[in-house]
Structure 1
Amino acid sequence: MTLFFTNKNYRLLFSASAVSNLGDGVSALALPWLASLITRDPMLIATVAFATRLPWFLCSIPAGVITDRYDRKHLMVGADILRMILTAGLVVCALTIPQPAPAGAAFAAILIVSGLAFLLGLAEVVRDNAAQTVLPSVVAKSDLERANGQLWSIEQIMGAFIGPPLAGFMIAWAVPAPFVLDTLSFALAAGMVLFIAIPPRPVVIRRSVWREAVEGMVWIRSHRVILQLALMLGVMNALGMLVVTILVLYSQEVLGLSVIQHGLLLIAGAAGGVVGGLICPKIAAVLGRRSALHCALVVWAVSNALLALVPSVLIVALALFLEMFAALLWNVVTVSYRQRIIPDALLGRVNSIYRFFGWGLLPFGALASGAIVVMAEPDLGRALALRMPLVIAAVGSFAILLYGLVWLQIDEE
């Protein structure tokens, strides 16, 4: 943690990330749980997840142009303030929408929650892209792996280790409570980012959004490895959303967990992220980029197989630990690699295009998860139908593993 104590700007960025991710972790459990209190319909619950992730498909590329055009610090502050306001809207929803809602009112209630979730996702796209592109301006290139590892660790500690169980206790006390905390966390994060001193960037000659976006597309197309990593990530994230979307119902109806127990279960994934953030930079240094990514794919495939095959709380906890560890290893290698080789003037646009491919399939994975359960339930019954998205995710993860072992090539220097 030397960087934290010696680099004031990194300390502020790190602290803002910790606070905002605490809020994110609280809402990550609270939002789908609120949806499950309103309705038990898998498609309606999947609609909330779809709305949350849809901005990554629709707005990633324009967000990259915006990130390269405007002050990245101000974009982060503005996005956090907008998220604060929108989360206050969720407080109102939690206070006023019946739980469960009558059959005729559930659809309208979910639409309102989904609309707020979409706008929150839109602000997240801009904020996250600006935050990732600002890091190379805050730390030296030689510290990127270490800084990314620490940031991923604190994100996991706050967003997955502390946030979800805290949300579980808060929902058990009062359903609106976690959204109140989320609102305050965004306000505090915005204040911290405001005090970061970032070196001025060269004046950018503004042209049409399309022309600037095309420059990023041309760059990423000419760098095959970056494009390959983005496409692989897209499939991996879509498969991951099959699991994440249905987990809130799987946890309640198959594992028999309460909201507090579900929050505690998610700690296992957070632990994998914390451990991964601490040791994955060293693993990448010892194994090299290519072998480290292969290792991440193997661990990820095994975790999905465990989730699909064994409906046990302990095995699910182990699988979530391994899944998040693999994600951290993948991200430490690939994010640092991008930050090193992408020119600063193009960093926002290329990162946004990368995320368009890598995150754009998230909303469709969410919808597919709900649809799979709805289609499978008449023949398989509710319990087996809830497991089908996990089975499909497991099969897909082994297909990605095979592809990566054979075709993934990445420079070691």
Structure 2
Amino acid sequence: MATYLITTSHWNEASIGVFLLTLNLATVIAQTPSGWLIDNTRYKRYLTAGAALTIAICVLVPAFASEMAPVLISAAILGLAAAVIPPAIAAITLGIVGPSGLTKQTGSNQAFNHAGNLVSAVAIGLVGTYVVSWGVSPIVAFLACSAAIIALMIPEKSIDHTIARGGVSKIEKNNQSESERSALALVFTNRSLLIFMVCVGMFHLSNAAMLPLAGQKLALEHKELSTLYISICVVIAQIVMIGIAVLVGLRCDQWGRKRFLLVGFAVLPLRGLLFSQTENPYLIMSGQILDGIGAGIYGVIVILVVADLTRGTGVFNFATGVVITIQGLGASFGSFLGEWWAGEYGYSSSYALLTALGVIALLILAVLMPETHPDKVKPSRFNSGRSRSTT
């Protein structure tokens, strides 16, 4: 989207930063309420389908309105709808396979997610380069409508809605208010969850602007091929993510969460360092291998860590919403900071700043974040945050 706006609508870096900030802040505002709603509704499939249809409508707006006001309004609505989908998919997955199957199935989900991104990136790159630049929006809209249909094809009876909340059978409707208080207590008293949220926020503060900035650099230097180049960047990353997601899903229970997280966080500053030192499109595209490793690990692990820390509480989706809210805050301000810094001091300087933030995120993770897999930690540490939240 950023590449389209800068090449076709002739937006500058600051305007694109406002667009991304609007999109991400809308998602942040809706994320935690979305998690709470998904914890407390049996209409998870319909929420997912409705959100996908809303996205389909919103992505068409920039193709027909280049003015800032309607594009920003559509970005805000798009952000609100996008907030529903991650916790809804996580909840439906947990409700179908249960805790014992969550690791492998989340890895499979992410592999299919990245495969879909791969196909769409190829289609967008070819259409945007060789057919028409605004053809990107109809492709995304078609895929979103397809996702809505598929969500409604999931059999309702296959979802255990108690398990989908991270709950156990003894949690009853008359204990609903207690569960809500437990969710708030979990956020503010579980040390491991708080540390993880800081790590998540810092990761996305560093990561969010890296690919958009790369796309804009390519657009300014190679306007005719910019859409194709950015699509290749996405394709390379998605191919790597598919394999990484499968690996994490198969091995994470044996190897633990933190080992994978350390690798995922370590490649982020390496990628930023590479991007800060080159304008060569082939090196930038090659650097997306690192993005594939980091994002492939992160996409699976974040759900598993939250599930570890909320198991049996009945507030899995609420906690997921809170964590993704922190993720969105980091991404929102990271996007704005990266774009603003690039406009003021240049792309290389912006990448240097983002790289430094990535190093800080890695250090916090390495020093403070414990292992969360229940089979690899002491019971007292695993249950410390949970026990305080339910008293």
> TM-score, normalization: structure 2?
0.83
Quote the offset at 1:139 in angstroms.
1.2
**Residues 1:67 and 2:35 are matched in the alignment:** no
Match of 1:397 in 2: 358
Query: Contact conserved, 1:60 with 1:352, CA < 8 A, in 2?
Result: yes
Distance 1:401 1:195 in 2: 41
Corresponding position of 1:84: 56
**Pick aligned residue for 1:144 from 79, 82, 102:** 102
1:199 aligns with 2:170: no
Q: Given the alignment of the two structures, is residue 280 of structure 1 paired with residue 248 of structure 2, yes or no?
A: yes
Instruction: Find 2:208's aligned residue among 213, 228, 241.
Output: 241
Shift of 1:205: 5.7
Q: Which deviates more from structure 2 when the two are superposed, residues 46-55 or residues 239-248?
A: 239-248
Q: 1:336 offset after TM fit, Å?
A: 1.7
State whether structure 2 residue 76 is matched by structure 1 residue 118: yes
Give the direction of change, closer, same or farther, for the CA distance of 1:150–1:182 in structure 2 (3 Å limit). same
The aligned counterpart of 1:52 is 23
CA drift at 1:344? 6.2
Residues 314, 361 of structure 1: alpha-carbon distance in 2 compared, 3 angstrom cutoff: same
Q: Report the CA distance between 1:325 and its aligned residue.
A: 1.0
Match of 2:185 among 213, 218, 231: 218
Moved over 4 A (4+): 200-208, 211-214, 254-257
Change (3 A) 1:217 1:32: farther
Aligned position for 2:235: 267
Aligned 8 A contact 2:203 2:330 in 1: no
Of 304, 316, 320, 1:347 maps to 316
Paired with 1:300 and 1:133, the residues of 2 have a C-alpha distance of 28
Report the Cα offset of residue 234 of structure 1.
Answer: 0.8
Q: Cα deviation per residue 1:99-125 (whole Å; 9 max; x = unaligned)?
A: xxxxxxxxxx12321211111111010
Matching residue's letter, 2:125: G
Which amino acid in structure 1 is aligned with residue 242 of structure 2?
Answer: V
Do the aligned partners of residues 392 and 277 (structure 1) sit closer, same or farther apart at CA in structure 2, a change above 3 Å counting? Answer: same
Summarize the Cα distance change of 1:213–1:393 in structure 2 as closer, same or farther, 3 Å threshold.
farther
Q: Residue in 2 aligned with 1:227?
A: 194
3-state DSSP class of the match of 1:360?
helix
SS at match of 2:209: helix
Check whether the contact 1:46–1:245 (CA below 8 A) recurs between aligned residues: no
- Shift of the alpha carbon at 1:285? 4.2
1:37/1:213 CA distance change after superposition, 3 Å? farther
The separation in 2 between residues aligned to 1:130 and 1:285, in whole angstroms, is 23
- Say if 2:128 and 2:136, in contact at 8 Å, map to a contact too: yes
AA matched with 2:63: A
**Corresponding residue for residue 165 of structure 2:** none
Task: Could you tell me which runs of 5 or more consecutive residues in structure 1 were left unpaired when the two chains were aligned.
Answer: 1-29, 98-108, 377-384
Structure 1 counterpart of 2:204, one-letter code? N
Q: How many residue pairs were aligned?
A: 359
Which of residues 300, 305, 310 is equivalent to 2:278? Answer: 310
Percent identity over the alignment is 13
8 Å contact kept, 2:39–2:315: yes
Tell me the C-alpha RMSD between the 2 structures: 2.5
Deviation of residue 214 (structure 1)? 4.9
1:251 & 1:280 partners in 2: Cα distance?
Answer: 32
Q: Kindly indicate whether residue 116 of structure 2 is the aligned counterpart of residue 170 of structure 1.
A: no
2:389 maps to none
Question: Which residue identity does 2:109 align to in structure 1?
Answer: L
